[in-house]
Structure 1
Amino acid sequence: MGKYSLAVDIGASSGRLILGHLEEEQLKLREIHRFKNKIVQKNNHFCWEVDKLFSEIKTGIKKCLEDGVKPSSIGIDTWAVDFVLLDENDELLTDAVAYRDSRTDGMMEEVSKEIIKERLYLETGIQFQKFNTIYQLYSLKQKNPEVLEKAKTFLMIPDYFNFLLTGKKVNEYTNATSTQLVNAFTKKWDKQLLEQLGIPTEMFQDIQAPKSVVGSLKKELVAELGFDMDVVLPATHDTGSAVVAVPELNETIYISSGTWSLIGVENHFPICVTKALDYNFTNEGGVDYRFRFLKNIMGLWMIQEVKRMYNDKYSFAELVELSRDAEHFFSTVNVDDARFLLPENMIEEIQSYCKELEQPVPETPGEVAKCVFDSLAHSYQTAVGEIEDIFERKFNTINVIGGGCQNELLNQLVADVTKKDVYAGPVEATAIGNIAVQLMSLGEIKDIEHARTIIKNSFEVKKYVAN
Structure 2
Amino acid sequence: MGNTYYLAVDIGASSGRHILGHLEDGKMVLEEIYRFDNGMKPKNGHLCWDAEGLFGEIKAGMKRCKELGKIPASMGVDTWAVDYVLLDKNGERLGDAVGYRDKRTEGMDHKVYEIISPEELYGRTGIQKQIFNTIYQLMAVKEQQPELMEKAERLLMLPDYFHYLLTGVAKTEYTNATSGQLVSPATKDWDYELIERLGYKKEIFGPISLPGTVVGPLKKEVADEVGFSCMVMQPATHDTASAVLAVPSTEEDVIYISSGTWSLMGTELKEADCREESRRANFTNEGGVDYRFRFLKNIMGLWMIQSVRKELPVKYSYAELCRMAEEVSAFPTVIDVNDQSFLSPDSMIEAIKEYCRKHDQAVPETPGELAAVIYQSLARSYGETVWEIEELTGKTYDKIHVVGGGSNADYLNELTAWYTKKEVLAGPGEATALGNLAAQMIAAGELKDIWDARVCIRNSFEIRSFRA
Give the TM bin, normalised by the shorter chain: over 0.9
Distance in 2 between the 1:311 and 1:32 partners? 31
Q: What secondary structure is seen at the aligned counterpart in 2 of 1:30?
A: strand
Per-residue CA distance 1:33-65 (angstroms, 9 max, x = gap): 000001110000000011111111101111111
Q: Is the 8 A contact 1:2 1:444 kept in 2?
A: no
Tell me how far 1:2 sits from its aligned partner: 4.6
Tell me how far 1:311 sits from its aligned partner: 3.4
Q: What secondary structure is seen at the aligned counterpart in 2 of 1:108?
A: helix
Distance in 2 between the 1:139 and 1:405 partners? 36
Distance in 2 between the 1:2 and 1:239 partners? 28
1:426-465 equivalences under 5 Å are 426-465=428-467
Tell me how far 1:124 sits from its aligned partner: 0.7
Gap runs ≥5 in structure 1: none
Distance in 2 between the 1:108 and 1:336 partners? 18
1:126-165 equivalences under 5 Å are 126-165=127-166
Q: Does 1:318 align with 2:320?
A: yes
Q: Is the 8 A contact 1:12 1:37 kept in 2?
A: yes
Distance in 2 between the 1:186 and 1:2 partners? 39
Structure-1 residue corresponding to 2:7 = 6
Structure-1 residue corresponding to 2:189 = 188
Structure-1 residue corresponding to 2:124 = 123
Distance in 2 between the 1:232 and 1:460 partners? 28
Per-residue CA distance 1:444-467 (angstroms, 9 max, x = gap): 11000000010000000000011x
Q: Does 1:40 align with 2:41?
A: yes
Distance in 1 between the 2:3 and 2:23 partners? 5
Structure-2 residue corresponding to 1:405 = 407
1:236-255 equivalences under 5 Å are 236-250=237-251, 251-255=253-257
Structure-1 residue corresponding to 2:292 = 290
Distance in 1 between the 2:33 and 2:271 partners? 37
Tell me how far 1:327 sits from its aligned partner: 2.1
Structure-2 residue corresponding to 1:60 = 61
Structure-1 residue corresponding to 2:29 = 28
Distance in 1 between the 2:442 and 2:319 partners? 36
1:147-226 equivalences under 5 Å are 147-226=148-227
Distance in 1 between the 2:222 and 2:56 partners? 12
Distance in 2 between the 1:6 and 1:230 partners? 10
Q: Is the 8 A contact 1:159 1:169 kept in 2?
A: yes
Counterpart code for 1:12: A
Distance in 2 between the 1:120 and 1:327 partners? 42
The count of aligned residue pairs is 466
Q: What secondary structure is seen at the aligned counterpart in 1 of 2:204?
A: coil
Distance in 1 between the 2:356 and 2:282 partners? 25
Q: What secondary structure is seen at the aligned counterpart in 2 of 1:202?
A: helix
Q: What secondary structure is seen at the aligned counterpart in 2 of 1:186?
A: coil
Gap runs ≥5 in structure 2: none
Question: Which runs of structure 1 show a deviation greater than 3 angstroms over 4 or more consecutive aligned residues?
Answer: none
Q: What secondary structure is seen at the aligned counterpart in 2 of 1:235?
A: coil
Distance in 1 between the 2:279 and 2:292 partners? 19
Per-residue CA distance 1:76-125 (angstroms, 9 max, x = gap): 00000001111111111121100000000011121111101111111111
Distance in 1 between the 2:395 and 2:155 partners? 41
Tell me how far 1:313 sits from its aligned partner: 2.5
Per-residue CA distance 1:197-231 (angstroms, 9 max, x = gap): 10000011110100000111111112222211110
Distance in 1 between the 2:126 and 2:96 partners? 28
Tell me how far 1:182 sits from its aligned partner: 0.5
Distance in 2 between the 1:80 and 1:174 partners? 9
Q: Is the 8 A contact 1:266 1:293 kept in 2?
A: yes
Structure-1 residue corresponding to 2:228 = 227
Match of 2:335 among 333, 336, 350: 333
Per-residue CA distance 1:256-287 (angstroms, 9 max, x = gap): 00000000001111111111111010000001
Distance in 2 between the 1:329 and 1:464 partners? 22
Counterpart code for 1:218: K
Structure-2 residue corresponding to 1:378 = 380
Q: What secondary structure is seen at the aligned counterpart in 1 of 2:203?
A: coil
Tell me how far 1:236 sits from its aligned partner: 0.1
Q: Percent of counterpart pairs with the same letter? A: 55
Q: Does 1:305 align with 2:302?
A: no
Distance in 2 between the 1:295 and 1:87 partners? 35
Counterpart code for 1:112: Y
Per-residue CA distance 1:292-344 (angstroms, 9 max, x = gap): 01000100000011111113532211111111111221211111111101111
Q: Is the 8 A contact 1:86 1:94 kept in 2?
A: no
Structure-2 residue corresponding to 1:113 = 114
Structure-2 residue corresponding to 1:362 = 364
Counterpart code for 1:372: I
TM-score, length of structure 2 as denominator length = 0.98
Q: What secondary structure is seen at the aligned counterpart in 2 of 1:355?
A: helix
Structure-1 residue corresponding to 2:350 = 348
Per-residue CA distance 1:229-263 (angstroms, 9 max, x = gap): 11000000000000011002122100000000000
Distance in 1 between the 2:333 and 2:154 partners? 47
Provide the aligned C-alpha RMSD in A: 0.9
Distance in 1 between the 2:180 and 2:292 partners? 17
Q: Is the 8 A contact 1:260 1:298 kept in 2?
A: yes
Counterpart code for 2:75: I
Q: What secondary structure is seen at the aligned counterpart in 2 of 1:262?
A: strand
Distance in 2 between the 1:222 and 1:414 partners? 46
Distance in 2 between the 1:15 and 1:101 partners? 21
Per-residue CA distance 1:382-437 (angstroms, 9 max, x = gap): 11110000011210000000000000000000000111000000000000000000
Q: What secondary structure is seen at the aligned counterpart in 1 of 2:215?
A: strand
Distance in 1 between the 2:110 and 2:304 partners? 26
Per-residue CA distance 1:156-212 (angstroms, 9 max, x = gap): 100100000110011100000001000111011111111001000001111010000
Distance in 1 between the 2:65 and 2:109 partners? 44
Per-residue CA distance 1:347-397 (angstroms, 9 max, x = gap): 111111111111111111111110000110011111111000001121000
Distance in 2 between the 1:2 and 1:435 partners? 14
